[in-house]
Amino acid sequence: MGSAILSLILLTILFTPTLVKAGGITNTLEEVGKPILTLPGAKTAGESQLPTIIGNVINFFLGFLGIVALVLIIYGGFLWMTARGNEDQVKKARDLLVQAVIGLIIILSAYAIASYVISNIASTIGAGTV
């Protein structure tokens, strides 16, 4: 009886997102030619300005690096929590956490500098905001 209830709960959890997402699927002829992925702030083909494109690429890579830093911080915490008093593993985890936080500070600084430079270039040549 208990395994049947557990199986029912697991099936409900697994298939509910699929059923909910299926309600929003539309295939119209107007959507066929549209791009699948557009970067935020990007204009349609032929209207894009160079600073906007460069800003979007920089934002994408810095966002990716931020995700990598977050994963390293979580991994360092996991190593520390599973060290069980092993001083070598605690030192390894502490070093990883310190390095990940320093990397995150560098990434945030790079984002601030790049955002400032790109927005000044865009406003100077009249390309709008990034």
Q: Where are the domains of the chain?
A: 43-125
Q: What is the tens place of the pLDDT at every residue in 13-68?
A: 766 655 454 545 555 555 555 555 555 555 555 555 777 788 888 889 999 999 99
Most trustworthy range by pLDDT among 6-10, 16-20, 79-83? 79-83
CB atoms within 10 A of CB 92: 15
Whether the full predicted model's pTM is greater than 0.85, yes or no, is no
Per the listing, tokens 């400032």 go with 116
Contacts of 75 (CB under 8 A, 6+ apart): 96
